[in-house]
Amino acid sequence: MTSRDFLIAPSILSANFAKLGEEVANVIASGADWVHFDVMDNHYVPNLTIGPLVCEAIRPYTTAPIDVHLMVKPVDRIIPDFAKAGANIITFHPEASEHVDRSLGLIRDNGCQAGLVFNPATPLAYLDYVMDKLDVVLLMSVNPGFGGQSFIPNTLQKLAEARAKIDAYARETGRRIRLEIDGGVKVGNIAEIARAGADVFVAGSAVYGAGKDADPHRYDSIIADLRAELAKV
Ligand code: DX5
Ligand code: ZN
């Protein structure tokens, strides 16, 4: 795998919410690839964030893919709203949907790429019967709900297992599924996370924390540092 296969997806959870459009535009201008958009409902996870109205509001600020991570229960009602608000990728947690296959189909029927998210204690077995409906597999390396937590080391082994499943599927079908990692990704651990198999890296506090004292907020140097680590892989 070469470094150009790696995508960096800063989580706007750690951005300045009073300047969200500018923050999104700046982080993409600084070299990031996707906008990771964390949706929390104070029910599936113990925190409350942003919804389709905010997705619609930031959409004009970038042409980069908006990667909506739903931490809500139930999931189906809100999927078409995010598609209309300009989301490109929508992922959800299998425990939050009564019918995983149906929710994945609904995302694609609404014109978006679809993905499943695995909490640290959620088994990868959910993958086995829905690979054909997936564009992204997202492994949580923290328990969802908050930015700024530490990477759970066991996730490296789980990444390797997910990578093996995804590669076997790609050999059979020729179809590529992205393997995304979310939680505690920093300059100091991104290379070993890449070696374990991830190819999309969410980083919230590491990216947005780095530019918060600059004016205007720019993220060139932290994105370059993350890419320099990925280039070693
Ligand atoms: C956690 C969210 C993450 C979070 C990552 O529930 O899904 O996207 O914002 O933040 P850091 O990179 O600070 O762990
Ligand atoms: Zn997330």
Report the mean per-residue pLDDT for the chain. Answer: 96
Q: pLDDT by residue (tens digit) across 58-93?
A: 999 999 999 999 999 999 999 999 999 999 999 999
Q: 16 alpha carbon to ligand 2 midpoint, in Å? A: 16
Start-to-end CA span in the chain (Å)? 8
Q: pLDDT by residue (tens digit) across 166-217?
A: 999 999 999 999 999 999 999 999 999 999 999 999 999 999 999 777 767 7
How far apart (Å, rounded) are the C-alpha atoms in residues 15 and 3?
26
Q: Is 119 in the pocket of ligand 1 (CB under 6 A)?
A: no
Q: Is 10 in the pocket of ligand 1 (CB under 6 A)?
A: no
In the residue annotation, 109 being an active-site residue is answered as: no
In this prediction the pTM is 0.97
Total domains, the chain: 1
Q: 182 alpha carbon to ligand 2 midpoint, in Å? A: 6
Q: Is 200 in the pocket of ligand 1 (CB under 6 A)?
A: no
For 53-71, b where at least 16 C-beta lie within 10 A, e where not — what string? ebbeebbebbebbbbbbbb
Interval 14-29 mean pLDDT = 97
Tokens at residue 30, please?
Answer: 């600084």
Residues 6+ apart with CB under 8 A from 51: 39, 78, 81
In the residue annotation, 182 being an active-site residue is answered as: yes
Q: Is 13 in the pocket of ligand 1 (CB under 6 A)?
A: yes
Q: Which of 33, 38, 41, 67 is an active site residue?
A: 38
User: How much is the pLDDT for 72?
Assistant: 98
What amino acid occupies position 55? C
Tokens at residue 232, please?
Answer: 């070693």
Domain extent for 46: 3-230
CATH code where residue 20 lies: 3.20.20.70
The answer to whether 142 and 184 have CB atoms below 8 angstroms apart is: yes
Calculate the CA dihedral of residues 67, 69, 73, 76 and round it to 10 degrees: 20
Tokens at residue 118, please?
Answer: 């695995």
